[in-house]
Each structure stands twice: as C-alpha cells, then as structure tokens.
Structure 1
C-alpha cells in the first residue's frame, strides 16, 4: 500500500481491512515464528492473529495500523489477549496513536475522513486493551490521556458537524502547533507511523486543557472503555494520587450530576474507591464544593427511594461522607445530613433483618461522627438508636467462646461501639452540673430517667464486651477488631468507674498485657490500614497508628483505677508503674526535639503523670524500692528545666513538678552536700522557680493575681500547684538542704515580698498550701525562720497576717 498524506476515509479503511491487510498478513506471516497461543482462540484464529501482528509491526503509516487493528479487534477481544500479545501491540502502536485518535475526534477534524465516534471508539478500545497490563497502565503516555477520557465521560461527544463548528476557530488559529504530524492542514489519522514517540505536547496538552466537547451521551461501549482505563489506574498503588492530580474527582462528580452514560454504574463506584483510599482527606480539602453537591444529590436520591431500595443504599452512602473535622460544618453539609437522618429514622424504628440492620447502624454511626446528636432526632429516637446498638453488641458478643465473627459483623459492631461512645458521655454527665453555664447536652432534652435508661443498656452492652475480652488470648492481640473492642471499653472506663468494678478488676491483666504488647511492638501498618478502611473511622488515629495508641486509650481508666485500693494492688502486681514510666520517657524523647510552633501538647503524658501521682501518694514503700521511680526522677530532672520555658506545655510542667516533689518527699536526707549542677539540685531549683511564677502582686496592695502565663491553664493546674506546695514542705522536712537553695535562689524572699504586697491570695486553698510550705521552711532552718518573722512583724494588712501558723 502506498503512503498517503490525505485523510483516511471509511471506505479506504474498510477495503484495506478486507483486502490489503489480509494479503499482507498472509504474505508476511509465513516467516513469523510460532508464538504462545492466546486463550480462547482456535489454531486458525491464532495463525491469522500472528499474521496481523506481523503486519502491524511492519506497518508504514496509520492507515496500515488501523486496518490491522480492526482485524485484530474483530478477531480477538482485548480481554482475551495474553500479556505477550498486548506487549507486541504496544510496541507496534504505542500510546501515540490512540491519543491522537482522541484529540482528532474531539477537535472534529474534517480531514480525518472518519466519524468522531469511530475514532473515539477505536482510541478508547486501544487504551482499554493496553491498560489491562499493569505495567502499561503505569506508562506516562497512558496517564497523559486521563484528562481526555475524563472530559469525554463528563461532557460526552456531539456529531461531526457540531464538533466542527465548535472547534473551527481554534483549528484555524492553531493548526500548525496542534497537528501531531506538523502539517498546516487539519489533523488526520494517516500520518507517518513512528513507533514509540510520545504524543506531541501541543496536541495532547491542548486537548486536555483547551478542548471541551459539547455535551451529549456517549456510547456505552465507549464509556465502558474509558472507565476501564480509569479503574485500572485507580487500582494501582499510586493510582488514586494519579487520578486526583489529573482532575478525576470533579470530572466524575459532574458526570454523575449530569447523568452521563454509565456514570452511576461505574462513575460512583470509582469515586467511592477514591474517597475510601488514603487520599480521602486531600480529596475533600481540594474538591469540597463538588463533593458536597454530589452528596446533596445522593441524599436526595436516598430520601426518594422506596424503603427496600433505601436499605440497600445504606451500605454505599457512608463512602461519600466527608471525614469528621473540627472545622464548622457548612450549611450544605448540615442540610444533607438532616435529609439523611429524616430518611434513616423510619428504618431504625422499623423491623430489620440482620443483614440490613448492620448497614443502617454503620450509616447512623457515620452521621453521628460527623454532626453529633443535634440533627439526629428526638431524645426518644436517640435512646432507641443507642438501645439497638447495645442489643446488637450483646447478641453478637455473648456467643459461646470460639465463635468466629464475620467481617460484616465486625464492621457492624465497630459502628455500634461508636454509637455507644457518642452516647456514654452524655448519659454519664447528664444532671451532674445543673449550673446555667453548663452547655446543653448534645442529646437535647434528655431527661434524667432517659439518661438512667441509657446508662443501663450501656452497662449491659459493656458487660458483653468484657465477657468477649475475657476469652481472648495473646495470639489474637494483633487482630484489628480486638483493638476496636479494647478502645470502646477504655472509652467507657474513662467515663464510668462505679459499674462492673469486679469484672473490670479481673480484666486488668488482659488490658495491661494488651497495652504492653503494642507498646513493645511499635507501629502496626496492618492495623492502620484496617482503620483507614473502616466505614466508621477515627479521624484522630487513622493512618497514624503507633504502638502507643493502645496505652493512650487506657490511660484515663488507669488514672481512675490507680486511685482505688483494690484495682491499684492488681496494677502494682502487673508492674504498671514501670509501663507508665516507659511511656513518659518515650514521650519526653519526642518533646525534646520540638521547638517553637512545632511544640504540641500531649494530654496522654499529663494523664500518665496523674496515674503515677496516685501511686506516689498512696504507695510510699513501692516508690522507695521500685527502680522505675528512680528512672522517673532522672527523667524529671532533665525535663522540668526545659518544660518551664515552653508555655504551651505548662500543664505537663505542672504535672512533672508536682510528681517530682511528691517522690522527693519520700527520700531520706542526703548525707553530704548536694553538688551544684546535680540532678536533684537542678530539679528543685527549677521547681521553686516554677511554683513562684504562678502569682504576681496585686495592684495597690490588693489581692494577688494569677500571672498571664498561668491564667489560661489555672482550672487545670490549680490543684497541682497547691499539691506541689504541700509536697515542697514534705521535701524540706525530708531533705533540709533545700532550705539553703530556696534562700540562695531568692524563692523565699520573693514569696515573702509577694505576700507582703498583697492583701490576700486568689483563694483560701492557695493561701493554706503556701502557709504549709513556709512553716516547713521555718521549722527546718533558723535563717528562714528569722526572715519570715521579720516579714510578719512589719506593719500593714498583708496576706502574711492571715497565716496564723507562721506567728506561732
């Protein structure tokens, strides 16, 4: 066949298909070595395929290529071609031809001689076939066609005449730079074949950015080929990122909203995959507007669907909800959530099969995570929702030991846990503070009786959780569902400490052993991946799981349990103080690397200090003999000098200061002088400076004021400050050398000056704590006693004159 620079016509391709190419296949195929058989082909078909592949490989222009390809596609569908055959097609054609076919069709070039639909059909079919090989799906040239495919799926195509009118102006002005073959005539499919060349950036880039096909419906086969390419790319490790960067999310959203071909059948599942992947948060931050419009449509369709269809839709809706954030909710999102709740309430209130109840509870939990209880419904409905979740937990967890839970049951239970967690705080705090300043509970209008009912069903459900955890052995510690169950119980124990005491105490060996296991193991990617795929996800932990997280969830419960004698004895037998010290040491290693704006407060470290403080107060003999407390003292002497200069960490500094002083009061007196720069001297010097910084003189001899640095945190640290002063008095009695340090560093004089210049302290409790510390100094040190007497004998009505014990 002679080469031609003119456009290929339909007749030419057809005639070449039936004559020239078959002849070339017959002529050239005889010298071709036999290749592995392609699946599903007879020997005769395989022979013809080999001849066509040979002709394709030796084609001299696009006309030859098109004819050979038409024969191959009619002979053997793409999904029947083996990997080696696909590679041979790719080596002969490359991605250059299918991309140019798309660009030519979208521009509506009259010179092509073929209808745009046929060009697009062949181009997308080629891309779909090549994308079935994962190596080819990652090729940069295939990825570069994604915007073209998205444009087709979003806007469809028009007939040749409309396309010509739409693009005539741009073709006239830009024909030279836009034609792949460099001619000034319009682009055609009969250009010289050059295997392996990239699609020229001018044509491909303009086709991506500048060409917007007129809206019309795509042929289903063509749309299916487009979605085949996108779905294959999405399944790759970096596929979601590739699609996000090429505008897939807004294009697919608009395709669904326009009801384009296969947008519901294939576009929505593809979007769901993207929104369930590790790019979920980035997708929502970048394309919130389009996704909220899509969610509004989904919620509208959900509300209009019959009840049976609505039940089936419950499992897909959560994928299109945004991740929970601390940012204010938009009105559009609130409206969609309210609409979903309105349609969901009849389902929760109705009689549901086991298969349907799970998705309903999962969707309910997702909506609670997103917007809380406010849009959920009446208090009666909220109580019903909690009751259904608790009953489901009991039904599934109270099975005999050894019963295996399916993946669907585990997902349902995880949703139930989140509903229970959302309810427990409201029920546990209801009526505990009738102050008008107390914010209204999230379950608006929940009566005391309803609150007690909720607490009752929660207690029964967590009794089932404890029963389930009692059956677990250490071989299952890495099971992700076990972590979800563990976390839920910890959330309950953080709020409710008066129920199920005996059962909880008996479970402590498991709870501590589980936390130790994960702390020692470190990061667990499998658990992080499982959490990221949950329909109900924990936004604070998803993708950032570390071995410390299990202990972090348990810490509030340990803080409560270490204050009670029975559980505390069990915790001591499990060497819990050493576990907490290890956790603090690791946290300090992280904090010491932070500075400036990178410093982040970690409440878990503060809670760990509180639990250790309980041991220091109630178990003096254990503190004196356990080596972990000596290690803790070393860490505190290193940390406190740094923490007192980090304002954001003032609460942690207060915890460390008070904890160190409580341990210090149990130490015996030093036999020799305490050297300057030693750990104990450095700690006490910083502790004195820190305690002094809380108050400053009042104006004109009035009441002493909180310092500006301490004032924002006073509600959290006031008790620690007072306990620290009392512990300081105990340290002075146990280690009298501290009195000399207090005089040398100016603590005593500055404290007396503060009291002399102030009529009173902010509250009587603070005044009593400071008086107790000063009495200890006066008792142990004659020089300190002399300084205090001088101050109390001066004229005036200072706060010193209210400290009667100092006058004795």
Structure 2
C-alpha cells in the first residue's frame, strides 16, 4: 500500500524523473524514442487501467490502477484529455478523504499520516491544473484544510517517536512522499533541488517551531502542492473571493509569521495576488490587524536586507501597503512607512541602473499615495526623489517615434507619474502668497528656491509627456499606459497652463479627440478598466464608464476656455458639444441612483464652468450652436429635480446659472413660451429665492440653513444668476410676469423690508440689478417695488439705483 501511494504520485507530479527511471520499459520505449505519444500496447493498458479505476472497490484498488498507469504510461506521454479521464476516474473524494484522515491522525488508515497527506495534496495539486476541476465544489471544500496545513505545519501528525522515525534526521524521502527510486534517495534529493529551483526557495531557510508541536517543519513537497492548489483557485474569476471567504488571509499571515516552508516564497506571492486589484480594499477592511502586523514585519526585514535582496524586496513590499482611503489609523503604520523611507534614502542617493531604480521609484510612489510627503525625509531628499522620477520620464519618453516601451519601463514610468503628480501641487502653491497655508501633503520646510527647482524639472518632464502623446495613433487609445500618461499631464494642466502654452495649445486636438473617443465608446475599455482597478491608486474602483478621460481634462478645459487663443482652438474642435454630451451622460447616471447615492460629482460642476466661459465669451456661438439647445433641454429636465436635493446644491447653482446666462441671449418668442423654457425659469426662481432668510427678528438678512454649508462655493453663482435674471427680463419680457407669478418678487421684497442689511455689498448689488431690470421692463413690478420702498425703512432704502428706477426719493 505504501509503495502504491509513493508511485501513484508519479503520474501526477514528476514526469521527468519517471522518464529517466523507466527508460525503455512499458512496452512503448522511452519518451524520447516514442516522440511524446503512446503506442497501441500502451493505449490498451491505459484503457484497462481506466476501467479498473472506475470499477475500484476501495482505495487499494484505485492506487494499484494508478501504479500500473505510472509504470506503463509515463505522464509526459498523456495528453490533457487523457489526464482528465484519469482525474475524473480517481475523483475528488479520494484526495479529500486522504487529507481528512491525515489531519485527524487515524491509526487505522494503513498508511502513516504524512504519506496520506503527501498523496492527498499531490492528487489535489494535479487536479487543480484543470480550471474546471479547480472550481469544483469538492475541491473548494479542501481549502480550509490546505490553509491549516500551511499555517500550522504537521501539528496533528502522530506521536513524537513516530515523527522522529519519519524524519530520519532531516528532510528526506520518507518525509516527503514524492517518488523515490529503488536505488535510494538520490532521486528524491534531485527532485527536491528541482523543486527549490522552480520555487526560488532556499532549502536551508530555518523554520520557526510551534509550541506544543513535536515538529512544525512542513515537507517541501506537501507545501508546494498546497500552494499549487491555492494558486490555481486564485487564478479563477471568483477564485480570490473563494479563498478570502475560507480564511486565506489569516492562514497565510500565520504561515509567514511562523516562517513555514515556502511561506516567504509562495505564501507572500499568493498574499500579493489577494491584495491586488478589486479585493484589496475589502481584504484590508476585514483583516487590518493581521495585515498591519505582516507589513511591519516585512518593513523590518526590508531595512535589514542588503544589496540585491533589498532591491528585489521593493516590488514585493509595494503589494502589502494598505490602499489609499482605507483608514488604518496606527502609529505602527506610520512607523513602518518612516522605516522604509529611511532605508530607501541611501539607495536613491546611490548610482543605480534603470532596471534597479524602477522598483524603488514605484515603491516610493505607493508610499507617497499612502502618507504624503511628511515621512519622506528632508526637503533635499524630496527634491532628489522628484528629480530622479523626472529624469526617468525624460529618458523613457524622449525616444524616437515608433520605439516600443517595454511593460517593465511602462510600469516604472507610471510610478514616476504618481511622484510627479504628488509634487505638482507643492511646486505650484509655494510662493504664491506668504499668508497661504501649505497643503497638508506638502513637502515640510521646503524653500522657495527648492520649489522653483521642482517646478523646473517638472516642466521638462511634462514637455516629454506632451512629445510622447503627440506621436500616439488613435489605434492606441485603449492602451492603459497612454491613459496613465494622459492623466498625469492633465494633473499638471489642472494647476499650470501658463507654462509651455504653445505646446499645450498644439496638443489640444489630441487631448480632446482622446477624451471624445473614450466618452463615446470608440476605443477598447477592458484593459483600461483593469488598469483603473489594479494600478491606479487614487481611484475608488468600479467599472470603467468612458467618462474618466474627460474628467481629468476638465480642469484644464476650464482654464483654457477662459483664454482667447486656446478657446478658439477648442471651438474648432467642437468642445462645447463634447461637454454637453458629458453632462448628459453624467445626469443619466446620477438620476438612476437612489437618494442616498446622489453624491456630489465635482466634474459636472467643472464642465458647467467651462461651458459658462463659452457662454459669456462667445454669444454668437451660443445662439447658433445646436448643442446649446440640447443643453437647455437637459437643464430644464434636471434643475426642477436638483432644487430638492440639498447635497447637490452647488450643481444646482451651476445649472441655474447656465440656464439663465443662455436665456439672456435669446430673443423673445414670437408665439407662446415653450414648456421647457417655462419649466427651467420656474425652477430657477424657486431655487434663487431659497438662498436668503430674513428670520422673524429685525437685523441683517441671513443665508438660509440649506445654503449655509455651501455658501462659499455657491454665493458667486447665486449673484451671477441674479444678474443673468435681469438680462433675461430685458431680453424676454414674459419672464417678468413669471417672476411675479412664482412669488419671487413678493418674497424678495418682504425679505428686504424685514432686514436692515444684506450679507455683503456684492449681494446687494446683484439683487439691486435684478430689481432694476424688472422695474424698467414691467410697470406692475415697478409699482409693487415702489409701494414697498415708500413705506419701508429696511435694506431696500440702501438701493439708490432702484430708487431712481421706481421714482422714489
């Protein structure tokens, strides 16, 4: 039985050794002679063995059939369908039962627990190579057992004396359960060496002992098979969730903590897979303590490592940092980050090859995303970090057109972009105003001269980005690296559009076309969706919508649409229509959410600001361009809804402003007023009158409670709305009638008569301008305003221009 268990593994796990042992046996010659196929005689034996496997009455019969297969049909000669037939005949019941028996330590099994465990894990490892079997429910039920083995070692195996017998003074063939040649243990040692080479492991790595356990040394073959199963499951579409729901994080962290076999090589690699992509946030939120302990340990190991080992650990360590936005709130985390930066400083100051510096800069980018500039170190080193990132970008992107960038270089440059993005705000804000507080993420104690140096190297690097993007063909719009480059440039343009103005203006056709292509679904999306999930640290995840590219460009468009030269280029590119399309798609997505999910979207407000720039500066374009008619229809649908959503008050203020600014440019209708127009103005009037609250007692008027929180952002828009309302009354006299019907005039006059003053002079001027327009265009309005002013001593009496309009002294 024991011999059968040992040899049965050969068909599953170690075909090369079988080839060397079998030579010309098996009736079909060696593998080399047979050319990788089975002879007729071998096929006949195989069919009989498969029949025996299917008809086996007990495990001994099953193992005997497997033994025959290994002797006569080397595994390397079996194609995938044949292997699958063997696996299906063996089934998942056998390896699962072997595991349970081994873990429970049943003395009546006929085999030592260690051999049962070795056989069971080897069969499962082989079965897991087929994705259909890797996702089989029976195989998934063995995951907790496998994780327990990896975490705790052979803590349930036999009695101490039996354990000593099996160990035989070290890790050898009797403890491994792998194929053992009849000549002795040389084959086992060779296989162990091969396994070590495949796994990149160190056979002499010490193992931590567990209290109460006779020996916590886990056999390398068993450990390797366990990790093979778990890794195969992890590769499935729902694999990570299957592992997480069965306690993989706790078990793997424990395996690393106890320094179990292969835990540092394959255990950390598997943890890295679980801590990447969509599952990272969920894993950290559910296992913060264990993952933080693991990170602290790895950070200490990183600081103690030297040379190439330390450089190799950079890429590994980046996987184990918590995601941006997940609050760990621990001094331990801060201490770990400070330690890692302390170890990185001398490395970055040394001479490094491009291959060496890449993982260091990527790790630095991850640390910056997580904790900002404060723990990085002195300002001089911060400047060095930015400089090295910018140099790498210039070297990588300033290549002749047509040169392909390797995936490794693209990964490095993406990390450099994030360092540059972290430096942009710092470089642009220092020295603007001595009284301005530096941003929280700013470089501590940086001087104005150092800030200017950073701004200089950033300008050179972003010039390289623009050069690279100029060469991009539309066929590459779906490339995640192009999106990363585009996004980084947009972060620069959001803060700085005065530098490199000609280059920026020249690149506008690409920037707009790239954004339009993604918005309208003309480019592939899957690669970008994966990148947003797995690479981009600042994103909140979720499916790719196509709106992301334009979101990043919007702040730059807001700045550039206010400047005459770039604005003319933007108009030739039909940018207003692009912005209207964006708003329409965003509104469709927003109104489909529940009330709780109706959160503020700043990008919609920025798009409104850019459209407002076009509306103010290009009145003829607004009158003729059909996209502005589409925009009016959107505003008339959305504003009545937004009026009742306090969390979206700033967006409502933007929509109201846009609607009234467009309305002032229109001529009075020849016939009846369109229903959409009337609905838009009615909603605007209701919205405007809700801003001020006179209260029950005399004194200055107050901002209403619903507006108070957003007043700093909405006040200027509210005043602009009032000025535009006056323009609408002058252009379209019917609006004055609506002002009275909606009660805006009555409410405003009552508020002003009850208060002694308005919040500020600008608010008074805006209200006065609107009231003057109504008095000038509508005799009924003029009479109502005059009657109140003659009998009231409130804030109305301070409006001198209004007094002239209504004839009150």
TM-score range, shorter chain: 0.7 to 0.9
Q: Could you tell me how far 1:284 is from its partner in structure 2? A: 2.1
Change (3 A) 1:755 1:151: same
Aligned equivalent of 1:669: 668
Aligned equivalent of 2:229: 229
Change (3 A) 1:45 1:491: same
Change (3 A) 1:335 1:15: closer
Q: Does 1:274 align with 2:274?
A: yes
Identify which of 767, 771, 777 aligns with 1:770.
767
Identify which of 98, 101, 108 aligns with 2:98.
101
Counterpart contact for 2:532–2:539, Cα < 8 Å:
no
CA offsets 1:541-599 (integer angstroms, 9 cap, x no match)? 54522211111111111000000011111111111111111111112222222342121
Q: Does 1:551 align with 2:550?
A: yes
Distance 2:660 2:6 in 1: 94
Q: Does 1:156 align with 2:157?
A: no
Q: Could you tell me how far 1:73 is from its partner in structure 2? A: 5.1
Aligned equivalent of 2:398: 398
Counterpart contact for 1:109–1:164, Cα < 8 Å:
no
Aligned equivalent of 1:352: 352
Counterpart contact for 1:107–1:163, Cα < 8 Å:
no
Query: 3-state DSSP class of the match of 1:327?
Result: coil
Distance 2:729 2:367 in 1: 56
Counterpart contact for 2:315–2:359, Cα < 8 Å:
yes
Change (3 A) 1:549 1:411: same
CA offsets 1:75-125 (integer angstroms, 9 cap, x no match)? 777666433443343344322122111111111122223211111112212
Q: Does 1:700 align with 2:697?
A: yes
Larger mean CA deviation between 328-337 and 509-518 belongs to 328-337
Query: 3-state DSSP class of the match of 1:623?
Result: helix
Q: Could you tell me how far 1:215 is from its partner in structure 2? A: 6.2
Counterpart contact for 2:650–2:713, Cα < 8 Å:
yes
Aligned equivalent of 1:803: 799
Query: 3-state DSSP class of the match of 2:710?
Result: helix
Aligned equivalent of 1:606: 605
Counterpart contact for 2:8–2:66, Cα < 8 Å:
no
Give ranges in structure 1 of 5+ residues lacking alignment.
Answer: 1-7, 18-28, 31-36, 166-211
Aligned equivalent of 2:342: 342
Matches within 5 A, 1:610-629: 610-629=609-628
CA offsets 1:124-155 (integer angstroms, 9 cap, x no match)? 12222222333322222122111111111111
Distance 1:713 1:429 in 2: 24
Q: Could you tell me how far 1:234 is from its partner in structure 2? A: 1.9
Change (3 A) 1:592 1:102: closer
Matches within 5 A, 1:347-386: 347-386=347-386
Aligned equivalent of 1:640: 639
Aligned equivalent of 1:177: none
Change (3 A) 1:588 1:92: closer
Distance 1:405 1:576 in 2: 32
Counterpart contact for 1:156–1:214, Cα < 8 Å:
no
Give ranges in structure 2 of 5+ residues lacking alignment.
Answer: 10-25, 28-33, 164-211, 805-809
Matches within 5 A, 1:66-465: 66-70=63-67, 72=69, 81-158=78-155, 159-161=157-159, 216-325=216-325, 327=327, 329-435=329-435, 442-465=442-465
Query: 3-state DSSP class of the match of 1:709?
Result: helix
Aligned equivalent of 1:472: 472
Aligned equivalent of 2:525: 524
Q: Does 1:581 align with 2:577?
A: no
Q: Does 1:713 align with 2:730?
A: no
CA offsets 1:275-323 (integer angstroms, 9 cap, x no match)? 2243222222222222222211211111100133211211222122222
Counterpart contact for 2:682–2:742, Cα < 8 Å:
yes
CA offsets 1:355-377 (integer angstroms, 9 cap, x no match)? 01111110100111111111111
Distance 1:141 1:283 in 2: 25
Larger mean CA deviation between 75-84 and 544-553 belongs to 75-84
Aligned equivalent of 1:183: none
Counterpart contact for 2:653–2:717, Cα < 8 Å:
yes
Change (3 A) 1:441 1:252: closer
Aligned equivalent of 1:20: none
Change (3 A) 1:464 1:564: same
Change (3 A) 1:794 1:129: same
Counterpart contact for 2:5–2:115, Cα < 8 Å:
no
Distance 1:333 1:16 in 2: 49
Distance 1:117 1:214 in 2: 14
Query: What TM-score comes out, normalization by structure 2 length?
Result: 0.86
Change (3 A) 1:630 1:84: closer
Counterpart contact for 1:38–1:46, Cα < 8 Å:
no
Change (3 A) 1:244 1:81: farther
Distance 1:13 1:609 in 2: 73
Aligned equivalent of 2:515: 515
CA offsets 1:221-256 (integer angstroms, 9 cap, x no match)? 121122222222222222222222222222111111
Change (3 A) 1:119 1:486: same
Distance 1:163 1:59 in 2: 35
Distance 1:481 1:623 in 2: 37
Distance 2:4 2:42 in 1: 24
CA offsets 1:304-352 (integer angstroms, 9 cap, x no match)? 0013321121122212222211636333322222221111111112111
RMSD, matched Cα? 2.7
CA offsets 1:399-438 (integer angstroms, 9 cap, x no match)? 1222221111111111111111111012212233444766
Change (3 A) 1:437 1:793: farther
Query: 3-state DSSP class of the match of 1:596?
Result: coil
Counterpart contact for 1:314–1:360, Cα < 8 Å:
yes
Aligned equivalent of 1:659: 658
Distance 1:278 1:230 in 2: 18
Counterpart contact for 1:240–1:277, Cα < 8 Å:
no
Distance 2:469 2:460 in 1: 15
Aligned equivalent of 1:204: none
Aligned equivalent of 1:747: 744
